[in-house]
Amino acid sequence: MKNYQQKDEILLSWRRCIENNLLPHQRVPQSDSEEKDIKKLLFKNKIFISVFEEALNKIESKNIDKCLFFILSDVHNVTLKLLGNKKLLFYARESLIQAGTSFDELISGTNSVDLAMKLNNSAYMLPEDNYCDFLRKWYMLSVPIASKKENLGCISILSRENCINQEIALIVQLLSYKISNEFTKNKRINNNYLCDVRLTDSQIRVLKVLAWGCTDKCASAELGISLGTVRYHKTNIFRKLNVESSVQAIMKALKYGIISLDDMEV
C-alpha cells in the first residue's frame, strides 16, 4: 500500500525526529489548562465533528467495527474525535491517544496523520514505521479531508491487526470525500444564516455581558446604561435570533460565531 515517495518521507521524518532530540518513549498526560483549550477546540469544530459522526453512522461494512477505530483530526493534526471498536478505544486511551492528542511530527514523531497532511495524499504506516513508542502497536491509514479551497483536517483508521485492506482503504477515501462535501454544505448554510442576522455593536456588547451570567441589572451597571436600554436591546436580540431567552440567545450566538467562548470569560 506504500509507495516509494512515502518510504522516503518516512526515512526523512525519522531523521528529523532524531535531529530534534525527540524521545520515542516520551508521552505527557494533558494538564488542566490543556483540557480547557481542548474544550474550546472541540466547540469550535463541533460542526466538523458532527459531520464526521453522521458519516460513520452510515457505514455498512461489517469489517469496520471488528478490528478498527477512526480518528478525526483538524488541519493542525490535533485529534478531535475517536469512534469505533470500544475495546480498541480503551487501548487508545491507555496510549494517551484521545481528544487533544497532537500528531504533529515535532510532538508525536513520524506518523500517518502528519505524513498524509504533508503529502496531501493518503498515508499508510506499519507499527514499526512510527517513531514514538505509543504508536508502535498500531497499523494506521490516514486520508486528508480537503475542500476545493482549503485543507480541513484528516480522517484516520487504526488497528492492532494487519487488517487494513484495499476495501477498507477505499471506504476511508469515500468517507473523506463525503465529510468534505457535507461540511462545506453545512458551512454554506451557516454563512447564509449569518448574512440574515446582523446585531449592532451595542446589542453584541449586551449579549457578551449576559454571557458572563449577569442579570439585566448587573448588565446595566457594567455597561453604564439604563435598565430599560438593556431590556430594549435584549428584545431586539431575541427577535433577530428568533429565541425566547438569554440562554438560547447565547447558545445560538456561539453556534454562529457572533460571540466566542473567550467572550464568556470574565
Count the Cβ atoms, other than its own, within 10 Å of residue 46.
12
- For a pLDDT cut of 70, what percent of the chain falls above it? 89
73-82 pLDDT, tens per residue? 999 999 999 9
Between the alpha carbon of residue 39 and those of residues 54, 132, 167, the distances in Å are 21, 26, 35
Cβ pair 89, 82 in contact under 8 A: yes
pLDDT value at residue 64: 67
Give this prediction's pTM. 0.73
Over 60: is that where the pLDDT of 195 sits?
no
Domains of the chain, start order: 4-186 (3.30.450.40), 195-264 (1.10.10.10)
**DSSP notation for 23-80:** -TT---PPPHHHHHHHHHHHHHTHHHHHHHHHHHHT---THHHHH-EEEEEETTSBEE
Over residues 41-57, the mean pLDDT reads 91
- The DSSP bridge partners found for residue 84 are 69
Please give the DSSP secondary-structure letter assigned to residue 261.
Answer: G
Tell me the C-alpha distance between 159 and 141, whole Å.
9
Over 60: is that where the pLDDT of 266 sits?
no
Over residues 210-227, the mean pLDDT reads 91
Mean pLDDT rounded to a whole number for the chain = 87
Cβ pair 260, 251 in contact under 8 A: no
Over 70: is that where the pLDDT of 14 sits?
yes
pLDDT band, residue 137 (cuts 50/70/90): very high
Over residues 55-66, the mean pLDDT reads 71
Place of cell 436600554: 229
Tell me the C-alpha distance between 183 and 48, whole Å.
6
Over residues 196-215, the mean pLDDT reads 87
pLDDT value at residue 230: 92
Cβ pair 223, 209 in contact under 8 A: yes
pLDDT band, residue 190 (cuts 50/70/90): low
